[in-house]
């Protein structure tokens, strides 16, 4: 480790160093030994996140940086797993870090440096310095300012700021918003004492751009956010108290099929001013993401899921109305931007899924669905809809989906997509849930997929 690299607390630094220094072909076995010696789940999760932020450049916000972006998803998968599978997602993430670390070395061996203490603003000036640096896309000033902010400001205040800046532009396929939500969620589990290096990495990531400084230009990724800054002033007072409206949710969905970013955001304003609940607007957004997946499964569509999930999480956990208005408007604006990258010739809709009654009951019906995913994803989605419509338990379907991720997943997107989609099922109005959940068959792993070889290594290392 270079002397100028950022250092962590004496309690966690040795475990982070172990992860950094252990060869990939030995890292699972070394961590299993540490766990047997008393290292806790929380300590392993902490080391995983901190090793990532110290060793992997968060630009672009994606690609090798998925080793950091996926930590919260792996954690959620672990929490939702049976005891026998509890460590599988985390050990998969340990191996993923080693892969990304090696790639980072090949691409220049970036390492987070210690903060320039002489540039860190006083506590009463930290917030103003941070917002000025972020508004001006000044990475060095933001790095010093966010260190001061992390040391003095309330966590909620910091989250509000990052939620705004993480959603202001459509670069990196939504990963900026994803990083805000996932890093915040992981910090809630490992402890705020580890926040400073994470927030420094996050600020640096959010300032990623190509070409001219966005503060002095009119780049396409910034236009929806700038328009929405003005548009939010048109929203009526008391908008958070609107009424649930299924027809309005469908109207939002229809708009998102055709409108551009400005039209989608304008529809949000119109619906809110008609006393429609934000929850119904989110219903339309989630269903629109599902529809993109039906049209063209793959990287773009799955990121419409994960980005919508991240923005919705921020919407749930922010408190300032200005932040909330911006998040909702940007969530709607982003869906057409994702849609524009999808094959326009593929025009399937979520309503076109037709329920196919299961030929066998219970677990056998679920097994049939995940086998069908390996042959015909549309047929599998129809079988899933039939299973749910005939009284099948959604949680049983979800548990089977998650277990196949543990056993057969080979990519960060397996974890990111599945955890986002399965979480959002519970945020959608009951009338729309079955079709939404059925649509995940277009991206989930099939039981026909080959097993992930890390599973056997993990079980052997842990003596399970």
Residues 444-464 have pLDDT tens digits of 999 999 999 999 999 999 996
Classify residue 111 as exposed, middle or buried by CB count within 10 Å of its CB (0-12, 13-18, 19+): middle
- Looking at 176, 206, 236, the residue that finishes a domain is 206
Question: Residue 80, Cβ neighbours under 10 Å: how many?
Answer: 19
Confidence of residue 2 (pLDDT cuts 50, 70, 90): low
pTM (predicted TM-score): 0.97
386 with 437, same domain: the answer is yes
Average pLDDT over the chain, rounded to whole? 96
335 with 357, same domain: the answer is no
273 with 360, same domain: the answer is no
Check residue 3 and give its pLDDT: 64
Report yes or no: 110 and 68 within 8 Å, Cβ to Cβ: no
Neighbouring-strand partners of residue 113: 5
Average of per-residue pLDDT across 226-248: 97
97 with 123, same domain: the answer is no
Residues 133-182 have pLDDT tens digits of 999 999 999 999 999 999 999 999 999 999 999 999 999 999 999 999 99
Residues 399-419 have pLDDT tens digits of 999 999 999 999 999 999 999
Neighbouring-strand partners of residue 5: 113
Residues 175-216 have pLDDT tens digits of 999 999 999 999 999 999 999 999 999 999 999 999 999 999
Element (H, E) at 177: helix 175-190
139 with 237, same domain: the answer is no
Concatenated DSSP letters for 261-315?
Answer: HHHHHHHHHHHHHTTB-HHHHHHHHHHHHHHHHHHS-SHHHHHHHHHHHHHHHHH
Phi (first) and psi of residue 275, to 5 degrees: 70, 30
Query: Backbone dihedral region of 56: left (phi > 0), alpha (psi from -120 to 50 degrees) or beta?
Result: beta
> Has residue 459 been placed in a domain?
no
Our CA angle for 234, 432, 332, nearest 5°, is 30
Check residue 88 and give its pLDDT: 97
Task: Kindly tell me if the per-residue pLDDT of 1 is higher than 70.
Answer: no
> Has residue 239 been placed in a domain?
yes
Biggest alpha carbon–alpha carbon distance for the chain = 70
333 with 249, same domain: the answer is yes
Residues 47-83 have pLDDT tens digits of 999 999 999 999 999 999 999 999 999 999 999 999 9
Q: How much of the chain exceeds pLDDT 90, in percent?
A: 97
200 with 244, same domain: the answer is no
230 with 329, same domain: the answer is yes
Residues 284-321 have pLDDT tens digits of 999 999 999 999 999 999 999 999 999 999 999 999 99
N- to C-terminal Cα distance for the chain? 34
Domain extent, residue 87, equals 13-106
């Amino acid at each position: 480790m270079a002397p100028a690299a950022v250092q962590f607390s004496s309690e966690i630094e040795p475990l982070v160093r172990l992860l950094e220094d252990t060869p990939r072909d030995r890292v699972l076995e070394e961590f299993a030994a540490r766990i047997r010696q008393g290292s806790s789940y929380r300590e392993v999760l902490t080391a995983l996140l901190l090793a990532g932020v110290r060793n992997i450049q968060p630009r672009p916000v994606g690609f090798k940086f998925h080793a950091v972006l996926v930590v919260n998803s792996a954690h959620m998968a672990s929490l939702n797993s049976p005891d026998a599978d509890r460590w599988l997602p985390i050990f998969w993430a340990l191996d993923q870090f080693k892969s990304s670390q090696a790639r980072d070395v090949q691409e220049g061996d970036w390492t987070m440096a210690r903060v320039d203490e002489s540039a860190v603003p006083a506590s009463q000036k930290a917030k103003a310095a941070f917002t000025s640096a972020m508004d001006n896309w000044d990475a060095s000033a933001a790095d010093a300012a966010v260190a001061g902010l992390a040391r003095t400001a309330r966590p909620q205040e910091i989250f509000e700021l990052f939620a705004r800046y993480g959603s202001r532009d459509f670069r990196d396929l939504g990963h900026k918003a994803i990083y805000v939500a996932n890093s915040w969620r992981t910090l809630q589990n490992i402890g705020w004492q580890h926040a400073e290096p994470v927030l420094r990495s996050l600020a640096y990531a959010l300032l990623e751009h190509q070409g001219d400084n966005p503060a002095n230009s009119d780049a396409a990724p910034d236009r929806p956010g700038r328009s929405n800054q003005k548009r939010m002033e048109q929203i009526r007072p008391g908008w958070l108290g609107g009424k649930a409206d299924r027809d309005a949710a469908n109207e939002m969905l229809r708009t998102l099929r055709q409108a551009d970013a400005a039209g989608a955001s304008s529809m949000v304003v119109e619906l809110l001013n008609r006393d429609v609940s934000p929850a119904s607007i989110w219903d339309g957004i989630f269903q629109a993401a599902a529809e993109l997946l039906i049209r063209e499964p793959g990287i773009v569509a799955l990121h419409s899921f994960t980005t919508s999930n991240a923005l919705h999480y921020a919407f749930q956990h922010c408190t300032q109305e200005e932040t909330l208005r911006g998040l909702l408007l940007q969530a709607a604006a982003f869906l057409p931007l994702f849609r524009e990258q999808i094959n326009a010739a593929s025009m399937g809709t979520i309503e076109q899924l037709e329920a196919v009654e299961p030929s066998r009951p219970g677990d056998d019906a679920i097994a049939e669905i995940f086998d069908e995913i390996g042959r015909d994803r549309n047929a599998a989605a129809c079988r899933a809809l039939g299973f749910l419509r005939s009284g099948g338990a959604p949680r049983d379907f979800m548990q089977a989906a998650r277990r196949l991720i543990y056993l057969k997943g080979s990519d960060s997107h397996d974890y990111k997509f599945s955890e986002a989609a399965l979480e959002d099922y519970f945020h959608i109005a009951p009338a729309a849930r079955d079709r939404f959940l059925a649509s995940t068959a277009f991206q989930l792993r099939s039981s026909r997929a080959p097993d992930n070889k890390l599973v056997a290594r993990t079980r052997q290392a842990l003596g399970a």
